[in-house]
Structure 1
Amino acid sequence: MTKIQVGQVQFFCMMVLFLFGTAVLLDIGSGAMQDAWLVSLISPLFGGAVFYLYYYLFTKFPDKSLIEYTKIIWGKYLGSIVGFFYIIYFIYIAARVLRDFLEMLVISPYYRTSMTTLGICIILVLIYAVNLGIEVFSRVAVICFVIMLFSLFVINSMYVIGGYITPKNIIPVLSNGLKPIIKEVFPLGITVPYGELITFTMLLPYINNKKKVLKTGLLAIACTGLYLTFNMLMLICVIGPDLIIRSAFPSLTAVSNINIGDFIQRLDTFIITLMVILGFVKITIFFFCGVMGINQLLSRKPHLLINYSVGGMILFFSIIIASTPLPIKNI
């Protein structure tokens, strides 16, 4: 491996931001209605088990990434095929997440802007980040983490100050039993976002203190799970379960309702900025993994041509992955 070193704090911040990503933006668990917060509370338990599996593989091959040890486990040729499909997965999910954020931007502040134009602007920033390397990106993630904490504190404070909290929206608890919750937890509640932590099998070899990887990873999952549970409770209390399930982006819908004394309002722009930061981190990590995977599969040194090629594929797939943007009436 190269001499790139990522500290425990940077690792923690990257993982939390990655897990937040689209999980804060989308309505994961909304099928359980007012019990959606239980989905967010239960899912991290299984997410921790999934991460432990990835950690176990890491302990067996501490200096190798997923793409490298698939060749050892499956053999050179079959392992290369398996590695190739993982690379496709990284690129596809990066495109999928980019599409989600393009949808959000097109139907809110940039409704007159072409999705392709927005996509080109974002992908150029992503390529620049990948060109700088994972070590530089990990330090940027710490800054993004601080911005995220401040933003979430302000937004949740506005809910309380403005009197938008309606606790009765979360009752009755378990009115439909456990079946809707189990249906939401398996498989979506686990795969998004915790199953996506397979990307970190590409990054773990770069962590400077390998003995603390499991502890730091589980702490990140626990913190994420607790906040997502709190966030879902807030959304249910603010806009209700019916509007959550009908809204394309519940967080955006809730924030757009804030109006305190006709002075503090239009905070949807505030949360869109936060979402762009989260999207930037998540897409960049998938981007990194795709590029690293190609370099390792082909046994090549990092090259700008590969970075630009993968960036072009992510942009292309994000545009064609769905035919039309979401209707504005759902926001």
Structure 2
Amino acid sequence: MLENGKISTRQFTLMLFSLLLSTIMFGLPRILIEQSRQDVWQVMLITFVIDAALAIIYFILGMRYPRQTMIQYSETILGPWLGKISGLLFVLFFGYMTLIVLKTVSKFIDTVLLTGTPELAINFILLLITLYAVNAGLEVVARLSEIIAPLMIIALLIILTFSVNRVELGNLRPVFQHNVWELLKLSLLPISLYGVCITMGVFIPYHNNPKESLKAKWIAIGSGTILSIMTLMSLITIFGTSYSSQQVYPVFRLAQIIKVGDFFERIETVVIIFQIAGAFVSMVILYYSSVLGLAQIFKIQRYQTLTPYFGVIMLILSVFVFSNITEINQFTETIFPFLAIFIEVFLIIMLLIVSLIRHGIKKT
């Protein structure tokens, strides 16, 4: 058995929520504001609706194949060869997202915390700690989310609360600058990033109450959307759209301006800690999903066998892929949405259609 651990509904929710919140607190706000400007809240609402609908498909497949991850039921649905290819696409996606999170965090640490430190050294330390957590098993990963996700929420709420006195509501105008078709196109990027929560297809078999998986996903993306909109609106009302879209780390910049009297300042230090902690949880979840999926594809009994090799591959790739944060953002804005939506939307819909054709509507 690859994994004997079980997770609760609360843990399931917080794992998915951690994936979303870490993207909110890093570079996503800058890109979204640059593209959508004052209409960004409409884009986020569209993203929520679409992702909530996609979650139903993942839930249906999880219920049709209750003891299998998305990697395993791909093979059950498509057969041994096409199924392995489908499973490998999911694994490659998880691995790619692991690399993106690793590069984003290391660039952030190098920029705001350990300036001048070799990036390779930062990557090595991050991967080593991540490997240790992944080897500890799913239940440890889930408990990490339980601890860190609430702290991230508190840190973000502190930033939003103590920056209220700088809000300029006039910055919210003009509104409704985009028609529905334009909003749908603008929602491609956040949908692709929300889609990282396809990891629910990995964790449903280990949920102690799988029938609550859909509710957990909806709570995670619903609360993530609310915090996203609050954060984006704060950035726009305080900095304006032009300045916000020029900041590499706008949430960190927002934390820097907070000062309450002479005793409550330098809050950005807390933000640094929780941003890194949240990204670490995201990296652990994605790393775990990658190695577990690989082990299931190649029928390896212990996924821990693969964790050091996967770490070495990530470390090597981190040297050659994306030399700076600008390259990461350019790729994220242009190519990534189409690659991600192919995996997160079209591939999973295809699996459902083939499943219904091959195994019938009332499969038990």
Q: TM-score, normalised by structure 1?
A: 0.92
Q: Contact conserved, 1:107 with 1:326, CA < 8 A, in 2? A: no
- The ranges of structure 1 where at least 4 consecutive aligned residues each deviate by more than 4 angstroms after the TM superposition are 176-180
Partner letter of residue 236 of structure 1?
Answer: I
Q: Higher mean Cα deviation, 133-142 or 143-152? A: 143-152
Q: Determine if contact 1:91/1:313 at 8 Å carries over to the other structure.
A: no
Of 43, 61, 66, which residue of structure 1 is paired with 2:70?
A: 66
Correspondence 1:50 to 2:54: yes
Q: Is contact 2:43–2:183 with CA below 8 Å preserved after alignment?
A: yes
Which has the higher mean CA deviation after the structures are superposed, 151-160 or 283-292?
Answer: 151-160
Q: Is the 8 A contact 2:37 2:241 kept in 1?
A: yes
Whether the aligned pair in 2 keeps the contact of 1:67 and 1:296 (CA below 8 Å) is yes
Cα distance in 2 for residues equivalent to 1:177 and 1:88: 35
Name 1:306's counterpart in structure 2: 306
Asked if the contact 1:13/1:145 (under 8 Å) is kept, the reply is yes
Kindly state the Cα deviation for residue 303 of structure 1 after the two structures are TM-superposed: 4.9
Report the counterpart of residue 248 of structure 1 in structure 2: 248
Structure 2 residue aligned with 1:184: 186
The 3-state SS of whatever aligns with 1:112 is coil
1:215 corresponds to 2:215 = yes
Which residue identity lines up with residue 252 of structure 1 in the other structure? F
Q: Which residue of 1 aligns with 2:10?
A: 9
> Is the CA contact (8 Å cut-off) linking 2:58 and 2:198 kept in structure 1?
yes
Deviations along 1:9-43, one digit per CA (max 9) or x if unpaired, are: 11111111111121332224221112222222221
* 8 Å Cα contact 2:256/2:266 also seen in 1: yes
Letter in 1 for 2:136: L
Aligned CA distance change for structure 1 residues 117 and 326 (closer, same or farther; 3 Å): farther
* Residue number in structure 2 paired with 1:137: 141
Q: Secondary structure at the match of 2:112?
A: coil
The unaligned stretches of length 5 or more in structure 2 are 328-364
Task: Report if the CA contact (8 A) 1:92-1:317 is conserved.
Answer: no
Q: State how far apart, in whole Å, the 2-side matches of 1:281 and 1:56 are.
A: 27
Please say if 1:86 is aligned against 2:90: yes
CA distance in 2, matches of 1:326, 1:264: 33
Is the contact made by 1:32 and 1:180 (CA closer than 8 Å) also made in structure 2?
A: no
Match of 2:32 in 1: 29
- Counterpart for residue 321 of structure 1: 321
Q: 1:321/1:53 Cα in 2 relative to 1: closer, same or farther (>3 Å)?
A: same
Deviations 1:251-298 (A, max 9, x none): 112222223445433322221111111101111111011110111111
Letter aligned with residue 248 of structure 1 = V
Instruction: For 2:100 and 2:296, locate their aligned partners in 1 and report how far apart those are by CA, in whole Å.
Output: 24
Preserved CA contact (<8 Å) 1:255 1:271: yes
Distance 1:121 1:11 in 2: 27
- Partners of 1:7 and 1:208 within 8 A in 2: yes
> 1:176: how far off?
4.7
Question: What secondary structure is seen at the aligned counterpart in 1 of 2:140?
Answer: helix
Distance 1:177 1:78, change over 3 A: closer
Q: 1:180 to 1:253 in 2, by over 3 A?
A: farther
| AA aligned opposite 2:319 | I
Q: Which amino acid is the alignment partner of residue 112 of structure 2? A: S
Counterparts in 2 of 1:194-233, with a 5 A limit? 195-233=195-233
**Aligned-partner Cα distance in 2 for 1:218–1:174:** 27
- Provide the C-alpha distance between the structure 2 equivalents of 1:237 and 1:49, rounded to a whole number of angstroms: 31
Q: Which residue of 1 aligns with 2:359?
A: none
Distance in 1, matches of 2:110 and 2:140, equals 30
In the alignment, the residues of structure 1 paired with residue 303 and residue 182 of structure 2 have an alpha-carbon distance, to the nearest angstrom, of 48
Tell me which amino acid in the other structure corresponds to 2:158.
V
Instruction: Report sequence identity in percent.
Output: 26
Q: Given that residues 38 and 229 in structure 1 are in contact (C-alpha distance below 8 angstroms), is that contact kept between their aligned partners in structure 2? A: no
Matches of 2:198 and 2:160, distance apart in 1:
31
Compared CA separation, residues 183 and 325, structure 1 to 2 (3 A): closer
Q: 2:174 aligns with which of 172, 175, 198?
A: 172
Q: Secondary structure at the match of 1:56?
A: helix
Q: How much has 1:326 moved relative to structure 2?
A: 5.0
SS of the residue corresponding to residue 13 of structure 1 reads helix
Q: What amino acid maps onto 1:22 in structure 2?
A: T
TM-score after normalising by structure 2:
0.84
Q: Which moved more, 1:262-271 or 1:4-13?
A: 262-271
Q: Per-residue CA shift, 1:209-232, capped at 9, x if unaligned?
A: 112111221122111111111111
Residue matched to 1:258: 258
For the residues of structure 1 that align with 2:178 and 2:71, how far apart are their CA atoms? Answer: 44
Q: Is the 8 A contact 1:103 1:326 kept in 2?
A: no
CA distance in 2, matches of 1:146, 1:241: 29
Query: How big is the alpha-carbon RMSD for the aligned residues of Structure 1 and Structure 2?
Result: 1.8
Inter-partner Cα distance in structure 2 for 1:280 and 1:298 = 27
CA distance in 2, matches of 1:38, 1:155: 23
